[in-house]
Structure 1
Amino acid sequence: MGDTNDGPSMAAQSALPDDQDDSTNNGGFLRKFFSIIGPSGDSADAGEDTPEGPNGAVGLANLRRMRVEDVAIPKVEIVAVPNDITLDGLVDVFRESGMSRLPVYEGTLDTPVGMIHLKDFALKHGFGATEPFDIAGMLRPLLFVPPSMSIGVLLQKMQTERRHMALVIDEYGGVDGLLTIEDLIEQVVGEIEDEHDTDDDQFWTAEPNGRYIVLAKTPLDDFEEELGLSLTDNEDVDAEEIDTLGGLVFMLAGRVPARGEVIQHPAGLEFEVIDADPRRIKRLRVRPTPEGGVPAE
């Protein structure tokens, strides 16, 4: 949940040095990974067994079995910015979303003009730089793909073109979703934790004013003990059916909520989904509501 893409004839967009730096950093792993995928995106061993993961099957067979539409983040969950955004506004979006790449559009998301990389932005406007802000001069081209493309073929395309994100385009030319190379590889090797993910032994991080950044897999009992508050002591929640904070939020919402959605809890808390995909919640921001009875620290 979350980065950008590359696209058809975006030659008019000026791009800073391409994603060669990203490919170099990940080159060792990616070269080995792609060495077991044939030119068509199929795995070298088409009959390889597929191991079972916590959210369904993962394995090389997914490269030919799964399509882009099976993995893509829905359009409503895409974090993107307009091409007339201000410098301060862009800083706020990068900070709040935690993304390193953002699609840039003109008017609406159905008219994408490129993507902006946090590294390009930081190098040009960070570290005390005083240059005039010009987002057009930092745009990189986007990759556009149809929803029916297999994820194996898309992985090959991303590697060849050194792109780490793609926009999914529907039959009418509108944007229908977004994928990152990480989203695709996770279908083969399982969930990938990066340097921004919370360590397994640290389920939450306390913030000022009684707020927390919490992994959805946090044991509910442990977090209740941290808060000094029962989160299952109301008629909307069946404590026998849930073990994690993510399960609690899922039960309150009645579905998997989208990134950015805020779910209210009767105990005077609200849960903001800050990282999720179409199948699961990953991270939450927990904060007391202004009228709630949970004291701010």
Structure 2
Amino acid sequence: MPRDKDQRSLFVKLVEFLSPGPDSTAELIETLADAEHRELIEPESRVMLEGVIRMADMTAGDVMVAVRRMDLLDIDAPYDEILGQVIETGHSRFPVFEGSRDNIIGILLAKDLLKLQRAPELNLRTLLRPPEFVPESKGLNELLREFRSNRSHLAVVIDEFGKTAGLITIEDVLEEIVGEIEDEFDEEDRQSSIFTLADGSQRVAGDAAIEEVNQTFGTQLPEEDFDTIGGLVSHELGHVPRRGEQVDLGGLRLVVMLARGGSVRWFKATRLTEASDTAES
């Protein structure tokens, strides 16, 4: 009986909170944020719910890895070269092209290369899986259903002219639900790339102009050699940052919150004095 009482209590709270109901997606998202503030839902739950709401209006073109960042295999390349590329990039699936990068003829699973080692007489073409193509305008909801029904994990995205525009995986789609960071502030006509979080720190887009960062934080990061904060951080680290990595620059501590497709999407920025105080407390 106590369990039923608790469930009813939560239901009453939600009804009270959601009445009158929101009239738009923006209001619904604000409602979720207020619910988190009032401790009716956990932060992780709010992120997931926001992801589901926003995903309804998103397409494959919004989430895909752009063609210039795709790792492709050449069907005519020597086996050792293909194996080296597979090992270096660490992906489990690769689009394979013949002649032109736009001529994708199949998908190779990295594990299938083991079959060539055991049976060198096999032709690499026999190991390819049929590629799936989707238009940039494909809705993520529909794409996720297709991924699940076809038991596929990867699709090649094509533009209106039939050329390869990018690549999208089931992981890319699911990340939009489980907390794709850019979703929280992904406004089509956003005026800023920097947002203040509840704890007083700032969330900074990887493509934020260094000039904007300097103006916001009163820093003097170099603006001559790099246009974006993501480019500057990548240069300082010597590689594309991974989630969780951090770097201290010009009085700021920048922690990578999301990196995907060969670039950083979001940093969490904290002034070094504030970061030190937080660590000591």
Pick from 56, 59, 71: which aligns with 1:79? 71
Do 1:97 and 1:274's aligned partners in 2 also have CA atoms closer than 8 Å? no
Which amino acid letter does the alignment assign opposite residue 154 of structure 2?
A: M
TM-score by length of structure 1 reads 0.50
Q: 1:61, CA displacement in angstroms? A: 1.3
Q: Distance in 1 between matches of 2:154 and 2:229?
A: 23
1:188-199 matches, cutoff 5 A: 188-190=177-179
Which amino acid letter does the alignment assign opposite residue 277 of structure 1?
A: R
TM-score by length of structure 2 reads 0.53
Do 2:56 and 2:141's aligned partners in 1 also have CA atoms closer than 8 Å? yes
Question: 1:183-236 CA distances to partner (integer Å, 9 max, x unpaired)?
Answer: 0011011259xxxxxxxxxxxxxxxxxxxxxxxxxxxxxxxxxxxxxxxxxxxx
Distance change in 2, residues 1:280/1:88 (3 Å): closer
Question: 1:26-79 CA distances to partner (integer Å, 9 max, x unpaired)?
Answer: xxxxxxxxxxxxxxxxxxxx9895567999994211332111111011110000
More helix by share: 2
Do 1:59 and 1:189's aligned partners in 2 also have CA atoms closer than 8 Å? yes
1:90 maps to 82
Question: 1:56-107 CA distances to partner (integer Å, 9 max, x unpaired)?
Answer: 9942113321111110111100000111122111111111111110100011
Distance change in 2, residues 1:107/1:241 (3 Å): farther
Q: What's the secondary structure of 1:125's corresponding residue?
A: helix
1:125 maps to 116
5+ unaligned residues in a row in structure 1: which ranges? Answer: 1-45, 193-236, 243-247, 283-297
5+ unaligned residues in a row in structure 2: which ranges? Answer: 1-23, 34-42, 182-212, 243-258, 266-281
Q: Distance in 2 between matches of 1:162 and 1:250?
A: 47
Matching of residue 150 in structure 1 with residue 139 in structure 2: yes
Q: Distance in 2 between matches of 1:274 and 1:84?
A: 32
Which amino acid letter does the alignment assign opposite residue 141 of structure 2?
A: G
1:254-293 matches, cutoff 5 A: 254-255=227-228, 264-265=235-236, 271-273=238-240, 276-277=259-260, 280-281=263-264
2:125 maps to 136
Q: What's the secondary structure of 1:272's corresponding residue?
A: coil
Identity fraction in percent: 30
Q: Distance in 2 between matches of 1:79 and 1:252?
A: 27
Distance change in 2, residues 1:159/1:56 (3 Å): closer
